[in-house]
Structure 1
């Protein structure tokens, strides 16, 4: 009998390779994710805190910094740069008219993602929203550290079960459970 195929309820389950099992399912790999989590979390927290404490992002002049950023992205799109037309249209038609709201969302979103990752609370969700922000910045033509942060955030999303083991997820995840793990009563 072949061990590679396990038949379970009319489906074939393919055995996972040991490396991916170790990285994404074993709490013995949690120390790796702790280092990555703290790095990405610190990066988001410091970036967000700089915005939260800046009037051009969240104060009396909220939206002016974001309007300038979007204006730069629109200029790159007009010049045929790194910003595609559909994203430039989105920035011009939706983000720019709501710059003050988006300014608060970016600033506090960065802080919340940073805190979630540093504390290891809902790590997969925090990393997911961080990766969404990274993609938004990349689409707007800002390279910086965004590609690296996006890759690390994606890995953290994949490792959600163990990435917060040295953090609050160790207790939060068993209490909260998962939607697909709940039994109908």
Structure 2
């Protein structure tokens, strides 16, 4: 067994390299995540607010904006461009008939993801759902900034422990019972029972 690895319970634990240790585990990297989080949060929040304030996603003509988006994606699928068949089937049979519900989910989801990222509250969860929406837009053939936003969301998900340090996660995560707030005895007991 190498000097840098050790056994904990029945698993061999290999220490992290210094770069990923700094980026994903050190509060000293939290300022990097703050900048990325604020950019991503602002992008999601403004997109959500625009949808909430327009009458085509919510309000009088709820779902009209989403219907237009879905019909555009279906046209791309028919032309053999950018949209795979299985996703076109999902859009046509699930999303389109329920466009009002999905339009509200998108508009409120974008707004809540943006707020979560800006406030640093449940940052990893907010970034995950933002990334899920990015992937949905990509599957529907909407490229624009979605690849960049998806990559940033994945990075923030990986850095969930420190990404919200300059935000409400600094206090919320310990209250919710994150793994590092357990006593060392509880952690050792759980490791040996796995």
Same fold (TM over 0.5): yes
TM-score (norm 1): 0.96
Q: Deviations over 1:59-97 (max 9, x none)?
A: 110000100000000000000000000000000000000
Secondary structure of the equivalent of 1:71?
helix
The equivalent residue for 1:158 is 158
Runs (5+) with no aligned partner, structure 2: 190-194
For residues 15-94 of structure 1, the aligned pairs below 5 Å read 15-94=15-94
Secondary structure of the equivalent of 2:56?
helix
Secondary structure of the equivalent of 1:45?
helix
Deviation at 1:3, TM superposition (A): 2.2
Deviant stretches of 4+, over 2 Å: 178-184
Judge which range, 33-42 or 2-11, deviates more: 2-11
The equivalent residue for 2:192 is none
Runs (5+) with no aligned partner, structure 1: none
Deviation at 1:12, TM superposition (A): 1.0
TM-score (norm 2): 0.91
Q: Deviations over 1:120-161 (max 9, x none)?
A: 000000000000000000000000100000000000000000
Separation in 1, partners of 2:177, 2:164: 14
For residues 102-181 of structure 1, the aligned pairs below 5 Å read 102-178=102-178
How many pairs were matched up? 184
Secondary structure of the equivalent of 2:12?
strand
Separation in 1, partners of 2:177, 2:166: 18
Deviation at 1:180, TM superposition (A): 9.6
* 8 A Cα contact 2:77 2:83, kept in partner: yes
Root-mean-square deviation (Å): 1.6
Separation in 2, partners of 1:22, 1:99: 44
Secondary structure of the equivalent of 1:3?
coil
Q: Deviations over 1:2-59 (max 9, x none)?
A: 4222122122111110000000000000000000000000000000000000111101
